[in-house]
Amino acid sequence: DAGVIQSPRHEVTEMGQEVTLRCKPISGHNSLFWYRQTMMRGLELLIYFNNNVPIDDSGMPEDRFSAKMPNASFSTLKIQPSEPRDSAVYFCASSFGQFEKLFFGSGTQLSVL
Amino acid sequence: SQQGEEDPQALSIQEGENATMNCSYKTSINNLQWYRQNSGRGLVHLILIRSNEREKHSGRLRVTLDTSKKSSSLLITASRAADTASYFCATALFDSWGKLQFGAGTQVVVTP
């Protein structure tokens, strides 16, 4: 298995631009999580899905952030418009079942100038 | 807000020594997990301990859980330079579907 695949690996954009991060979970996993990691705030859970349905999006910072999971093998996290304070590493993780261990992707390093 | 809080924030040891880090949490959990993150990489799961377990081993790793004190510890025995990484505890909250919240992590440096 290729593991959780995230793209792009790095993204540099200018303030105000739309950013879309992509994630392919491990085949057969039914839960998907989006985390953001910064030095100041550590790892923050943004949103998680179970069977493609958003369960808890209380961690999404503001309306500029949105996430979708149209099918079991793909999810996106979109920021529109982006701001410099959105600069962080964004991780996608998947798991099988409730309360089980997570498998993380390599992350997307986002820099908003 | 972070559920788990690790202690210490940083740890520097020499190869062969043991490394111990602690995690405290606030609310009831289903399980507690430990992860490792090497610089610039994603997190890797190390071990999961359920709320009805007190101790678990995996290779050179030993994890304990004390639910009465709401705390856990991770012990790495006979450390190696390759153990240099950040270590995070994560709590699976009982009153959530499967929400896993991470602490701030302990940065461990193992020098040869």
CA-nearest of A74, A106, A69 to A90 is: A106
Which chain B residues are within 8 Å of A35, Cβ to Cβ? 102
Mutate to test the interface with A, among B2, B99, B101, B107 (most CBs of A within 10 A): B99
How confident is the model at residue B1, as a pLDDT?
Answer: 44
Q: Which of A55, A97, A105 sits opposite B42 (nearest CB)?
A: A105
A102 touches chain B (CB under 8 A): yes
CA-nearest of B61, B84, B91 to B74 is: B61
Give the length of chain B: 112
How confident is the model at residue A2, as a pLDDT?
Answer: 82
Q: Which of A56, A99, A106 sits opposite B30 (nearest CB)?
A: A99
CB contact under 8 A, B100 and A45: yes
B2's CB contacts (< 8 A; 6+ apart) are A42, B101, B102, B103, B104
Task: For residue A93, count other CB atoms closer than 10 A to its CB.
Answer: 27
Joined together, the tokens standing for residue A13 give 């954009």
Q: What is the mean pLDDT of chain A?
A: 95
Quote the CA–CA distance of A74 and B104 in Å, as a whole number.
Answer: 29
Is residue A102 within 8 Å of A94, Cβ to Cβ? yes
A45 touches chain B (CB under 8 A): yes
* Sign of torsion over alpha carbons B87, B92, B98, B101: negative
Which chain B residues are within 8 Å of A56, Cβ to Cβ? 96-97, 99
A8-49 tens-digit pLDDT? 999 999 999 999 999 999 999 999 999 999 999 999 999 999
Joined together, the tokens standing for residue A95 give 């798991």
CA dist A12 → A20, A62, A67, B56 (Å): 12, 21, 20, 43
What number is the average pLDDT over the span A60-82?
Answer: 96
* DSSP-assigned beta bridge partners for residue B6: B23
Output the tens digit of pLDDT for each of chain B's 112 residues.
456 788 899 999 999 999 999 999 998 899 999 999 999 899 999 999 999 999 999 999 999 999 999 999 999 999 999 999 999 999 988 767 778 889 999 999 999 9
Half-sphere exposure of A101 (CA within 13 A, CB side): 14
